[in-house]
Structure 1
Amino acid sequence: MHALFLLIDAVLGLYQWVLILWVVMSWLVAFNVINTYQPFVRTVMHVLDALTRPLLNPIRRVVPVIGGIDISPLVLLLLVYFLRNFLRLDLYPMLAY
Structure 2
Amino acid sequence: MISLIQILLMILGIVKFVMIVHIIMSWLINFQVLNMRQPLVFQIWEGLSRLLEPIYGPIRRRLPAMNGLDLAPLIAFIAIYAIETIIQNNAYHFM
Normalising by structure 1, we get a TM-score of 0.90
Give the number of equivalent residue pairs.
95
Question: Counterpart of 1:36 in structure 2: which amino acid?
Answer: M
Higher RCO (C-alpha under 8 Å, 6+ residues apart)? 2
Could you say which residue in structure 2 is the equivalent of 1:50?
50
Deviations 1:61-93 (A, max 9, x none): 111243531111000000000001111112x11
Task: Name 1:12's counterpart in structure 2.
Answer: 12
Letter in 1 for 2:59: I
Give CA-to-partner distance per residue, 1:15-74, whole Å, 9 cap, x none.
001111111111111221101111211111111111111110100011124353111100
* In 2, Cα distance between equivalents of 1:67 and 1:61: 14
Match of 2:94 in 1: 95
TM value normalised by structure 2: 0.92
Q: Write out the 4+ residue segments of structure 1 that deviate beyond 4 Å after TM superposition.
A: none
Instruction: Tell me the equivalent position of 1:28.
Output: 28
Question: What is the DSSP-based 3-state SS (H/G/I as helix, E as strand, rest coil) of the residue aligned with 1:75?
Answer: helix
Unaligned runs of 5+ in 1: none
- Provide the alpha-carbon RMSD of the alignment: 1.2
Segments of structure 2 that go 5 or more residues without pairing to the other structure are none
